[in-house]
Amino acid sequence: MYGDDLAQVNALGWKPLFQPQRPQFAERWQPARVVAVQRTGLTLAPALPAIAEVAIGGRFYVQAVESRPTVGDWVLVDPDTGALEAVLERTSLIKRLNPAGEIQLIAANIDTAFVVTSCNDDFSLARLERYLAVVLEAQIQPVVVLTKADLSAATDAYRDATRSLGADLPIEVVNALDHGSLSGLGGWCGPGQSIALLGSSGVGKSTLVNTLSGTAVQATQAVRAEDAKGRHTTTHRSLHRLPYGGVILDSPGMRELQLAQAEQGVGSLFAEIETLAEGCRFNDCAHGSEPGCAVRAAITAGQLDARRLDSFFKLQREEQINRESVAERHARARQFGIQVKQSVAKAHKKRNS
């Protein structure tokens, strides 16, 4: 690693587990972290001299979407040419299925995800469950952050509702404008830590970034008074240094969050249902009208909220459909890749004959 920038890459979240990957590449290639993805290329830190932006080479576009760089990735760059040479293996990856039905990468190498929602009419348990399933699938520590506490007289009700999603789920109720009320978040923002902010528009993500940073690094707007819905202020994903020592990712709000390959995440989120299911009379119990269903018995006894079971069924079905759809896309992409290689080889053979 280039000595002068060792402190910089450590401050950006470089971990010892990345180092063993480097010997397989050219020693002169420099490690850097993707702090923003633009249409024309990547913005990296530490910045390379005289290179403002690094283009994503065409070879990355013939690979699966998951192989392309995203915000939070550690990459290796040739300092002489400015070419992106490699994306290092990730510790975690947050992704979703976008409205077009394609895999979209949200962030890589994240340690903790602040799932942000507000104490107003925009609050939704169903939406929180979606975000939590995605985060848990990536094996990232989730923290639910309830914002706009200063504008609500019912913060305890919002906290209690969120608590129904998991007894051990960390919950912070904050006024994003007040640095003092964010003290509970500081423990996740220490040196070497990478945090992602996830949530819909207008819940206060950019305000959180500004207050945690101690400076205005992101633009903010007020929500619409008539329906408490937020306006998009963040237009692209970006990574920011925090005075606590960690880095934080802010991303545009997502009204629609479809699950992509999140079977384990759904299972972890609804672990209490899967535990109850072990007591069902039949191993293939669908938790409907079957006799001896321990899950339905728990609902009757008031030990399980029927809404939780409905959400479990909904997310489970959606995840399965999307997973099969993604698998079909991957198969088509692999076949296309094989055809391209065969065509190139054929053309090369023809030129040499």
Token output for 22: 């480097």
Written as tens digits, the pLDDT of the chain (353 aa) is 444 467 888 899 999 889 899 888 888 899 999 999 887 789 999 887 777 789 998 888 888 889 999 999 999 999 888 899 999 999 999 999 887 788 899 999 999 999 999 999 889 999 999 999 999 999 999 999 999 999 999 999 999 999 999 989 999 999 999 999 999 999 999 999 999 999 988 898 989 999 999 876 765 544 333 444 444 444 467 889 999 999 999 877 676 788 888 999 999 999 999 999 999 999 999 999 899 999 999 999 999 999 999 999 999 999 988 888 776 765 665 665 566 566 666 666 666 66
Domain 263-340 has CATH 1.10.3720.10: no
Q: Residue 341 CB: number of other CB atoms within 10 A?
A: 11
Whole-model pTM? 0.83
Q: What is the pLDDT of residue 173?
A: 97
Q: Do 28 and 79 contact (CB within 8 A), yes or no?
A: yes
- DSSP single-letter state for residue 88: P
d(CA 50, CA 37): 18
Please, what CATH class does the domain formed by 107-250 belong to? alpha beta
Residue-level length of the chain: 353
Taking only Cα atoms into account, the Rg of the chain, rounded to an integer number of angstroms, comes to: 23
Query: Tokens 């030129």 belong to which residue?
Result: 351
Q: Which residue spans of the chain are classified as CATH 2.40.50?
A: 3-89
Beta-carbon contacts of residue 11 (< 8 Å; ≥ 6 apart) = 191, 241, 245, 247
d(CA 121, CA 127): 13
Q: What is the pLDDT of residue 223?
A: 39
Architecture per CATH, domain 3-89, reads as Beta Barrel (2.40)
Degrees (nearest 5) of the Cα angle 3, 90, 5? 15
Q: Which residue spans of the chain are classified as CATH 1.10.40.50?
A: 263-340
Burial class (CB in 10 A: 0-12, 13-18, 19+), 189: buried
Q: Which residue spans of the chain are classified as CATH 3.40.50.300?
A: 107-250
d(CA 31, CA 53): 15
- Cα torsion at 319, 321, 322, 325 (round to 10°)? 150
